[in-house]
């Protein structure tokens, strides 16, 4: 018994320096991996795409951690044991690959997205039903922030397979909006007024120049579509669109171009007299209700 205790104590005494060296290797590997993460600004100079730079840093950090673990096993004399264990984990590795299939698929998709570069940080994009600005692309998912300030996280495998609309890739972007005018409006005058207001709007490009389209014609409304272009690198797209809409409305008011008012016509018939009363109700621009009433001879009853 005393001899066994003596052997164990000698073994522990021999292993203490190796354990200390192993701890030092692990700490050194962690410091190096953390230091590589802090050198992202240097990687950006070598790799222009920040998404690829992030993946490169992650791969380098993983390699440092694995090398540190292998060095620890070698110091402790467990290198051969680890090799035999790794050889016997073939089936377990196959099962693990099936279990982590989604993670592997997302990681491969992140590499392909980084290489093809369909979008860049802060780009305004739409992926399926999700729309917003790109915040980050990591090994698992793509993070967007919509215009309400909410984060949308989409797996990279879905991003790679989905249709991606990038609104920021082309600096020139077209905006449009619709306005309705009265059917009796002179459309040539309306066109001159609307296009002139668009040309005078700050931020609207003169080439391609603003345009005017008649979308549809109805009983009480003629729908007009106005189009203009902006340079997204110089101005805010939504602000220019809103300012253009405001200026066109003011120009229409000054030119006497009327917007259609909703009209409701109701016809009623007295039960005994057979006299039909007809009235119309509409709202003017100030919001007041205007009513008119008349009577006609008719034997039928009708409500519209």
Q: Is residue 260 over pLDDT 60? A: yes
How far is C-alpha 194 from the chain's CA centre? 32
Residue 107's pLDDT is what? 86
Residues 227-236, mean pLDDT to the nearest whole number: 93
Q: Give residue-wise pLDDT tens across range 159-203.
A: 999 999 999 999 999 999 999 998 889 999 999 999 999 999 999
Query: What are the DSSP E strand ranges found in the chain?
Result: 124-127, 130-137, 141-145, 151-155, 164-166, 172-181, 211-217, 222-231, 263-269, 275-283, 289-297
Between 68 and 190, the higher pLDDT residue? 190
Residues 231-251, mean pLDDT to the nearest whole number: 93
Cβ atoms of 213 and 225 within 8 Å: the answer is: yes
Q: Which range, 81-85, 102-106, 164-168, is most confident?
A: 164-168
Question: Is residue 72 very low, low, confident or very high in pLDDT (cuts 50, 70, 90)?
Answer: confident
Residues 172-254, CATH architecture = 2-Layer Sandwich (3.30)
Residues 101-114, mean pLDDT to the nearest whole number: 86
Residue 30's pLDDT is what? 82
Q: Is residue 46 over pLDDT 70? A: no
Q: Is residue 273 over pLDDT 60? A: no
Residue 157's pLDDT is what? 92
Residues 266-291, mean pLDDT to the nearest whole number: 51
Query: What is the CATH number that goes with domain 118-166?
Result: 2.30.30.60
Closest CA to 194 of 226, 166, 148: 226
Euclidean distance between CA atoms 128 and 105, whole angstroms: 19
Q: Is residue 297 over pLDDT 70? A: no
Q: Which residue has the tokens 């292998």?
A: 70
Domain range summary for the chain, segments of one domain joined by +: 2-88, 118-166, 172-254, 263-297
Euclidean distance between CA atoms 284 and 262, whole angstroms: 9
């Amino acid at each position: 018994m005393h001899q066994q205790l003596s052997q164990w104590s000698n073994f522990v005494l021999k292993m203490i320096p190796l354990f200390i060296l192993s701890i030092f290797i692990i700490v050194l590997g962690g410091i190096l991996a953390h230091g590589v993460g802090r050198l992202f600004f240097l990687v950006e100079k070598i790799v222009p795409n920040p998404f690829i730079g992030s993946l490169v840093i992650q791969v380098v950090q993983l390699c440092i951690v694995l090398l540190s673990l292998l060095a620890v096993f070698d110091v402790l004399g467990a290198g051969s044991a680890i090799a035999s264990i790794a050889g016997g984990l073939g089936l377990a590795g196959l099962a693990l690959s099936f279990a982590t299939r989604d993670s592997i698929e997302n990681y491969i998709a992140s590499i392909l997205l980084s290489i093809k570069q369909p979008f860049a940080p802060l780009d305004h994009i739409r992926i399926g039903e999700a729309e917003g600005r790109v915040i980050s692309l990591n090994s698992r998912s793509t993070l967007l922030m919509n215009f309400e300030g909410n984060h949308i996280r989409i797996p990279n495998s879905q991003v790679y397979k989905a249709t991606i609309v990038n609104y920021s890739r082309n600096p020139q972007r077209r905006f449009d909006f619709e306005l309705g005018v009265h059917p009796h409006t002179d459309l040539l005058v309306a066109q001159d007024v609307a296009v002139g207001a668009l040309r005078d709007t700050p931020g609207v490009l003169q080439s391609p120049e603003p345009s005017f389209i008649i979308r549809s014609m109805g009983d009480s409304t003629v729908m007009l579509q106005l189009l203009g272009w902006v340079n997204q690198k110089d101005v805010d797209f939504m602000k220019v669109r809103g300012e253009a809409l405001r200026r066109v409305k003011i120009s229409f008011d000054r030119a006497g171009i009327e917007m259609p008012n909703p009209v409701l016509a109701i016809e009623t018939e007295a039960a005994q007299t057979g006299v039909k009363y007809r009235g119309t109700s509409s709202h003017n621009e100030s919001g007041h209700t205007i009513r008119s009433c008349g009577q006609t001879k008719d034997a039928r009853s009708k409500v519209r």
